[in-house]
Structure 1
Amino acid sequence: MLGSLGLDPLAQAVYSAMLADPSVGVHELTERLGQDEDDIRGTLNSLVELALLRPSRERTGGLYPVPLVAGMQLLVRRQEEELAASRDAVAAGRAAEADREPAERLIGLDAVQVGLEQLASGAMVEVLSMVPGSTIHPAALKASESADDDLASRVRVRVLYHSTVRQDATTIAYGRWMAERGSEVRLSPSVTRRLLIVDGKTAVVPIKPNETSVGALCVREPGLIDQLTALFELIWTDAVPLGMPSASESGAGLSPTDRHLLRLLADGLTDDVAAKRLGISARTVRRIMADLMDRLGAESRFEAGVEAARRGWL
């Protein structure tokens, strides 16, 4: 277990021996472990640097080990700090590269995948994503799972899907899975193009919108990034959070006349009578009703009444 946290076999043996007997000295360790004295002393110094061994207040020149659980926590924290430092170095390298190269062509699906993974691993603040289409292949979702999980644990993630994914149980389930991990997911009919924006500095768009297999263009021009971000925010503002009913489902946008007409017709009134009650012409009643039936996806007025009641419009 300690080996997976960065301790070599000798360091593990020395630390374990001192956990078992804190008073053991260099000579005893040399004999017990069958190692050269210089190697033992070097290992003790390394364990002190890792804070797994500390100077003893009771024995002058002696050392004592921190408890195993505390030691493991120290090693985990050290690995996390090293990983963060490496990530910062990679991000700095990419930033320097971006200053030299404002755009990069990623040709082919493999190159695009590698490019997206590199961008995601270096994200520091926020990742914005637009995913068009009514469904996403399960294999693609599975391949993205690990990266999406890591990303959501580090930065803010906002994802826009096309509204039609409501009909795809697999994609919706994946969206809920992301939301459980902290990502924000919304649906909109305006999501017609694929887009990824990382930290407000880099954007990835398809070279050919309708042929994603051709490749992608990775751009870093501030003016272009600003325009693409503004587009994302515009769509995001009007999008519906995953799990919330769409505007058509909730009845948003229904006028008082629409609602009143639905109630009158549900009560069995004819077009002419409903028109008189509303103070409009029968022709207008028929036009409004045709629009409502279209919104409800109904082929008859009876079906429209049933669907309107189901959605709570009445």
Structure 2
Amino acid sequence: MATAKVGEALRRLGIGDEATRVYLALLELAPVRLSRIGTAAGLDDTQLAAAYGELVDAGLASAPVDGRDAIAPLPPAAGLQILSRHRAAELDASCVTVAGAFDAFRRQRLAEFKDDLVEVVTGEEIGPRLRQAWDSAREQICQFDSPPYFPIPTATDEALATLARGVTQRVVYSRESLEFPGNLTQSIEPCIAAGEQARVVPSVPVKLVIIDDAYALVSLSIKEVDVHHTMLVVQPCGLFAALVALFEQTWQSALPFHGPPHRPHRLLPADRRLLSLLAGGVSDDDIAKEIGISRRTLFRRVEVLMARLGAATRFQMALQAQRRGWL
């Protein structure tokens, strides 16, 4: 691959110019001593130390014990995951903005909205409208799922029937969905086995169902579902587009959920010990003392483990580690 393209890709991931020059020199010369890399990159000792430290922190290069050690680039998969996650901060901010826009809409505009773009459905009317939504889907259903649930005894059967006729279903479950009594074995796993694409996050901002590009069903908030039994039916408009964007951004950051646990994979004893301490609620300072590393090294190892597991948060890391048999 052309050097210019590699350099541009690294800069887009947030790697500085001097660190990029060092990485390109590594690709050309490694394994080699650090001093020779500095000469090739045209950097003095101070600049070289900072630039190479940036690569080590990003998981892209090995850390030398002393100046006599040869250095080399590391396999980049975990490091690139870390860099990508850091750059995803802007997407997270976008999610907050969209959710805030909907909340402002609810507070300021709902009472005066008089046309057919938004319909308010309450009480016993909710169940039939949900069934109608599943029956009307032709291509795709996108959903945020979380308790409390409106009592529809046939909900799982209707979801399975929809999957059976070829409708794609993408569902983002909250942690509470997995913990709700009987929900995992009686509803979630049967739907995944039938072809549903499922992901999980600690919590979802609203209960939401998007039917094709036709309309969305959305609650005013998680708590208000139970208190007011109120649902909005949103036709294509600016609010509908915002809800679609909110779902897609949340889907991208959610952890894939594949039903029954995977077979255990190889894990170093030190990393297993680290995961066990984290899962036990031990503080970062105490973990660092227990295994004899600095806080900075601890954070770096946690980020590498999160990247290996495809997790964006420590909650997701613990969930995926448990499913893989690492805990």
The TM-score by the shorter chain falls in which range?
0.3 to 0.5
State the structure with bigger RCO (CA 8 A, min sep 6), 1 or 2. Answer: 2
Which structure has the bigger radius of gyration?
A: 1
* TM-score with structure 2 setting the length: 0.44
* TM-score with structure 1 setting the length: 0.45
